[in-house]
C-alpha cells in the first residue's frame, strides 16, 4: 500500500488545497494519470500519480482549508500487491473495502523528504535521478538497497522501496503553513508569499554569478520572417521558441548548468526540461517545464509553449510541469527591457535571461550597420560552476542562434 | 455581403476578450495599442491574431500585425477584407 500525500510541487510550496478527486475508490490509476486537482498558492495543478495501481481509499474529501505538504490524502494499492484484506482476512473482499489510513504496511508517496534525507544520501552511491526521486517521494534513504553496479542505488530500487517501505512519520510540523500565510486568503497575496519564499531562499543559499553577452539576431529573425511568411497564422513561430531551443542545445554542451543542487552537491540532469517563466495576468508568474526541449522540433516546441501558456494563464498546470524543470528561462518579451538578471529557482543551477530584441549600431565586417540584437544573460550557481563554463554556455547560445535553420 | 461595422467591432472585442479575460469593452481606448492597454505579450498577440483570422475567415500575414495593434486599426483592416 502506498499513501498518496499532499505533494510538494516546487520549492515554494508548503501547503495545498484539495479541490477534487479525479478517481473514485476502486478505480485503476496509471502512473502519470491525474489523480486529483490540487490548488497551490499559484495555480491549480493536475496532480499525477507516481505509481500504477488501484485507488484503494480516499482519506480526505475535497475541502476549503489548506493542508500542509505531506498530509496523507489517499491510499493506493500498487500493481502486484494483494488487496490489504487478504493478508488479514481469509474471505476475499471487494477492493473498495479499504485499508485504514496509517497501517504499518503503508508506504509514502509524494511527500516532503524526512529531515536530513539530503545529508544521508550524500554518503550513498545513488544516481542523480534516483536521488531526486527519493526526495520527491519523501523516502528514508536508510531503507534503500542498491542493485546497480557496485551496489549503486538506481531509480528502480527507489520505486521498489517506495512501493514496499513502511511509512515514515507524518509530515514535520515545520511544513505547516505559517499563520500569516494561512490568513492570506486571496490568491494574489499567496502568490507573492510563495515567490517571496522561493526567491529569499535562493538569495540566502545560492551564491549567484552573472554574465551577459549581446547576440546579433539578424540571421535568426530573417530566417523566422521567411518561414512565417509562408505559413498561416496558426503555424507561425515566435522568436522565443528559437531562444528556448538554442538554450536547450547549448546546455548539452555545458551540462553542468542543467540540473539541481541537492544535498550539498550538484546533480547534473541528462534530460533538459526547460522551465519557461510565464507572467500571469494580474501579477505573479509560474515557470512550468517544456520537457526534453533539446530533442523537440521548433514546431513541436511552439505548439507546446502555446498550450502551456494558455493553461498557465488559466491557472491550470500538471504536477510534472511544476516539478521537472532542470533550468529556467526568463524572457521579458518584445516590449520589455534590454536585459534581465534573474534569481535562480532553487534547487536549479542556472537561470537564463533574454531581453527584448532592439536595433543597435553593430559592426559587421568592418562596417557599422543597424542590426537587431538581444542581450542574453546567465545567472549561475557558483557552487556548481564558474564563470568560465558559464561564458562557454552563452557563447554556444550565440553561435547556435547564428544558424537558425539548424535549430 | 460586407459585415456591419458594429458586427466587426463586436467580433474584434470578443477575440480580444479571449486573450485578456478581464477586458472591459466600455473602457477600451480605440487608438491606444492593445499591448500597452491590456499588457499583452507576443504569445497573447499571436493568439489574438489567430482568433481574428478564425472569426473573419481571413488569414492575417505577420507583416500586417502592426495594423491590428489598435481597435480602430482592426476595424479598418477587417472592414476592407471581411465579408459575411
Domain ranges of chain B: 5-20+31-81
Query: What confidence tier does A152 reach under pLDDT thresholds 50, 70, 90?
Result: low
Average pLDDT of the residues of chain A = 83
In this predicted structure, what is the pLDDT of residue B21? 83
Q: Quick check: A281 and B62 CB within 8 A?
A: no
| Highest mean pLDDT out of A6-10, A94-98, A265-269 | A265-269
Q: Is A211 in contact with A378 (CB distance < 8 Å)? A: yes
Q: Which residues in chain A have their CB less than 8 angstroms from residue B49's CB? A: 233
Residue A50 clears pLDDT 80, i.e. is over it: yes
What does the pLDDT look like over A198-247, one tens digit per residue? Answer: 999 999 999 999 999 999 999 999 999 999 998 999 999 999 999 999 99
Secondary structure in 3-state letters for A320-388: HHHHCCCEEEEECCCCCCCCCCCCCCCCECEEEEECCCEEEEEEECCEEEEEEEEEEEEEEECCCCCHH
Looking at chain A, which residue has its C-alpha nearest residue B62? A229
Superfamily of domain B5-20+31-81 in the CATH hierarchy: ACP-like (1.10.1200.10)
Residue numbers in A near B36 (CB within 8 A): 335
- The rounded distance, in Å, linking the Cα atoms of B52 and B47 is 9
Residue numbers in B near A225 (CB within 8 A): 62
**Full-model pTM:** 0.76
CB-CB contact of A340 with A356 (8 Å): no
pLDDT over 90, % of chain A:
62
Is the minimum CB–CB distance between B24 and chain A shorter than 8 Å? no
What's the burial of A259, exposed, middle or buried (CB within 10 Å: 0-12/13-18/19+)? buried
Which pLDDT does position A135 carry in this prediction? 67
What are the backbone angles phi and psi of residue A280, rounded to the nearest 5°?
Answer: -95, 145
Least confident interval from A36-40, A122-126, A389-393: A122-126
Comparing CA positions, the residue from A383, A354, A390 lying closest to residue A251 is A390
Confidence of residue A143 (pLDDT cuts 50, 70, 90): low
Higher pLDDT, A265 or B25: A265
For CA atoms A348, A264, A141, A4, the dihedral sign is negative
And the C-alpha cell for A297?
522540433
Contact status of A230 with chain B (Cβ, < 8 Å): no
SS (H, E, C) A101-125: CCCCCCEEECCCCCCCHHHHHCCCC
Which tens digits make up the pLDDT trace of A115-142?
A: 445 555 555 667 666 666 766 666 666 6
Backbone dihedral angles phi then psi of residue A374, each to the nearest 5 degrees: -135, 140
What is the model's pLDDT at position A163? Answer: 67
**Size of the A and B interface in Cβ pairs below 8 Å:** 43
Q: Do A335 and B50 touch (CB under 8 A)?
A: no
Residue A172 confidence class, pLDDT cut points 50, 70, 90 = very low
CB contact under 8 Å between A333 and B42, yes or no, is yes
Which domains does chain A show, CATH number per domain? 2-183 (2.40.50.100), 206-406 (3.30.559.10)
Angle at CA of residue A240, ends A236 and A246, nearest 5°: 110
| Nearest CB partner across the interface for A232, out of B47, B59, B63 | B59
The C-alpha atoms of residue A196 and residue A314 are separated, in whole angstroms, by 22
Do A143 and A163 touch, CB atoms closer than 8 A? no
Tens digit of pLDDT for each residue in A324-364?
A: 999 999 997 777 799 999 999 999 999 999 999 999 999 99
Q: How far apart are CA A295 and CA A124, in angstroms?
A: 32
Test the A interface: residue of B16, B36, B43, B59 with most A CBs within 10 Å: B43
Looking up cell 526534453 gives A292
Q: Given CA atoms A378, A306, A347, A246 in this order, what sign does their dihedral have?
A: negative
A281·B50 Cβ contact <8 A: no
Per-residue pLDDT averaged across A251-278, rounded? 96
Residue A159 has pLDDT above 90, yes or no: no
Question: Which range has the top average pLDDT, A23-37, A76-90, A101-115, A332-346?
Answer: A23-37
Interface membership of A229 toward B (CB under 8 Å)? yes
pLDDT at A94 over 50: no
Chain B nearest-CA residue for A234 = B50
Q: Among A225, A238, A281, select the one facing B42 at the smallest CB separation.
A: A238
d(CA A258, CA A271): 8
User: Which residue, among A233, A281, A303, A312, would best test binding to B if mutated, counting the most B CBs under 10 Å from its CB?
Assistant: A233
Cell numbers that stand for A383 in this block: 557552487
Q: What is the mean pLDDT of residues A263-275?
A: 96
Average pLDDT, stretch A8-35? Answer: 92
Pick A160 or B26 by higher pLDDT: B26
Any A CB within 8 A of B23 CB: no
Taking residues A136-160, report their average pLDDT.
68
User: According to the model, what pLDDT value does residue A340 have?
Assistant: 94
C-alpha distances out from residue A292 to A207, A258, A274, A301, A327, Å: 27, 12, 7, 10, 11
pLDDT tier at A88, thresholds 50, 70, 90:
very low
Q: Does B18 contact A at CB distance below 8 Å?
A: no
**Consecutive H or E run containing B6:** helix B5-19
Cell numbers found for residue A284: 505573479
| pLDDT for position A113 | 38
Q: Do B41 and A334 touch (CB under 8 A)?
A: yes
Residues of chain B predicted below pLDDT 70: 1, 83-84
Question: Binning pLDDT at 50, 70 and 90, where does residue A301 land?
Answer: very high
Question: What is the structure's pLDDT at A182?
Answer: 46
A61-65, A90-94, A257-261, A347-351: lowest mean pLDDT where?
A90-94
Q: How large is the average pLDDT for residues A99-118?
A: 41
Whether the CB of B8 is below 8 Å from some CB of chain A: the reply is no
Subunit contact A309:B43, Cβ cutoff 8 A: yes
pLDDT in the model for residue A45? 94
Identify whether the C-beta of residue A159 lies closer than 8 Å to the C-beta of residue A147: no
For residue A372, pLDDT over 90 is answered with: yes
C-alpha closest to that of A380 among A202, A145, A229, A122: A202
User: How far does B29 lie from chain A, in Å, by closest CA?
Assistant: 19
| Start-end of H helices in A230-297 | 239-253
B35 with A335: Cβ contact below 8 A: yes
Residues 6+ apart with CB under 8 A from A60: A18, A67, A71, A72, A73, A74
- Asked if B60 is an interface residue toward chain A (Cβ–Cβ < 8 A), one would say yes
How far B7 CA sits from the closest chain A CA (Å)? 22
Nearest-10 crossing angle of helices A387-401, A239-253 = 130
Amino acid at each position: 500500500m502506498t499513501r498518496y500525500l499532499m505533494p510538494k510541487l516546487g520549492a515554494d510550496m508548503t501547503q495545498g488545497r484539495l479541490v477534487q478527486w479525479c478517481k473514485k475508490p476502486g478505480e485503476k490509476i496509471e502512473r502519470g494519470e491525474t489523480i486529483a486537482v490540487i490548488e497551490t498558492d499559484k495555480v491549480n495543478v493536475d496532480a499525477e500519480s507516481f505509481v500504477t495501481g488501484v485507488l484503494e481509499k480516499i482519506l480526505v474529501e475535497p475541502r476549503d482549508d489548506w493542508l500542509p505538504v505531506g498530509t496523507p490524502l489517499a491510499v493506493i494499492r500498487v500493481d502486484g500487491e494483494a488487496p490489504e484484506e487478504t493478508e488479514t482476512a481469509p474471505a476475499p473482499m471487494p477492493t473498495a473495502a479499504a485499508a485504514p489510513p496509517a497501517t504499518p504496511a503503508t508506504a509514502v508517496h509524494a511527500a516532503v523528504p524526512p529531515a536530513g534525507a539530503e545529508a544521508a544520501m550524500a554518503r550513498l552511491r545513488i544516481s542523480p535521478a534516483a536521488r531526486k526521486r527519493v526526495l520527491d517521494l519523501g523516502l528514508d534513504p536508510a531503507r534503500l538497497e542498491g542493485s546497480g553496479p557496485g551496489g549503486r542505488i538506481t531509480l528502480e530500487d527507489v520505486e521498489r522501496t517506495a512501493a514496499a517501505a513502511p511509512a515514515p512519520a507524518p509530515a514535520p510540523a515545520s511544513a505547516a503553513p505559517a499563520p500569516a500565510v494561512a490568513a492570506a486568503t486571496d490568491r494574489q497575496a499567496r502568490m507573492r508569499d510563495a515567490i517571496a519564499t522561493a526567491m529569499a531562499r535562493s538569495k540566502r543559499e545560492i551564491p549567484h554569478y552573472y554574465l551577459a553577452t549581446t547576440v546579433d539576431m539578424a540571421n535568426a529573425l530573417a530566417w523566422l520572417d521567411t518561414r512565417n511568411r509562408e505559413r498561416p497564422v496558426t503555424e507561425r513561430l515566435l522568436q522565443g521558441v528559437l531562444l528556448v531551443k538554442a538554450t536547450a542545445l547549448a546546455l548539452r554542451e555545458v551540462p553542468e548548468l542543467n540540473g539541481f543542487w541537492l544535498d550539498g552537491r550538484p546533480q547534473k540532469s541528462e534530460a533538459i526540461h526547460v522551465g519557461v517563466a510565464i507572467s500571469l495576468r494580474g501579477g505573479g508568474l509560474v515557470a512550468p517545464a517544456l520537457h526534453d526541449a533539446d530533442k523537440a522540433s521548433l514546431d513541436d516546441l511552439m505548439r507546446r509553449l502555446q498550450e502551456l501558456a494558455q493553461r498557465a494563464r488559466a491557472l491550470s498546470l500538471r504536477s510534472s510541469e511544476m516539478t521537472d524543470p532542470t533550468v529556467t528561462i526568463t524572457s521579458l518579451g518584445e516590449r520589455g527591457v534590454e536585459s534581465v538578471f534573474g534569481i535562480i529557482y532553487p534547487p536549479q543551477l542556472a537561470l537564463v535571461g533574454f531581453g527584448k530584441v532592439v536595433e543597435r549600431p553593430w559592426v559587421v565586417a568592418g562596417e557599422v550597420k543597424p542590426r537587431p540584437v538581444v542581450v542574453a544573460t546567465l545567472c549561475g550557481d557558483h557552487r556548481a560552476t564558474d564563470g568560465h563554463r558559464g561564458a562557454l554556455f552563452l557563447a554556444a547560445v550565440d553561435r547556435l542562434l547564428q544558424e537558425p535553420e539548424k535549430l | 455581403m460586407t459585415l456591419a461595422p458594429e458586427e466587426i467591432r463586436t467580433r474584434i472585442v470578443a477575440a480580444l476578450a479571449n486573450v485578456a479575460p478581464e477586458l472591459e469593452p466600455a473602457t477600451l481606448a480605440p487608438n491606444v495599442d492593445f499591448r500597452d492597454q491590456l499588457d499583452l505579450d507576443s504569445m497573447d498577440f499571436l493568439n489574438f491574431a489567430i482568433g481574428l483570422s478564425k472569426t473573419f475567415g481571413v488569414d492575417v500575414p505577420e507583416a500586417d500585425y502592426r495594423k491590428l495593434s489598435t481597435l480602430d486599426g482592426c476595424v479598418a483592416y477587417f472592414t476592407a477584407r471581411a465579408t459575411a
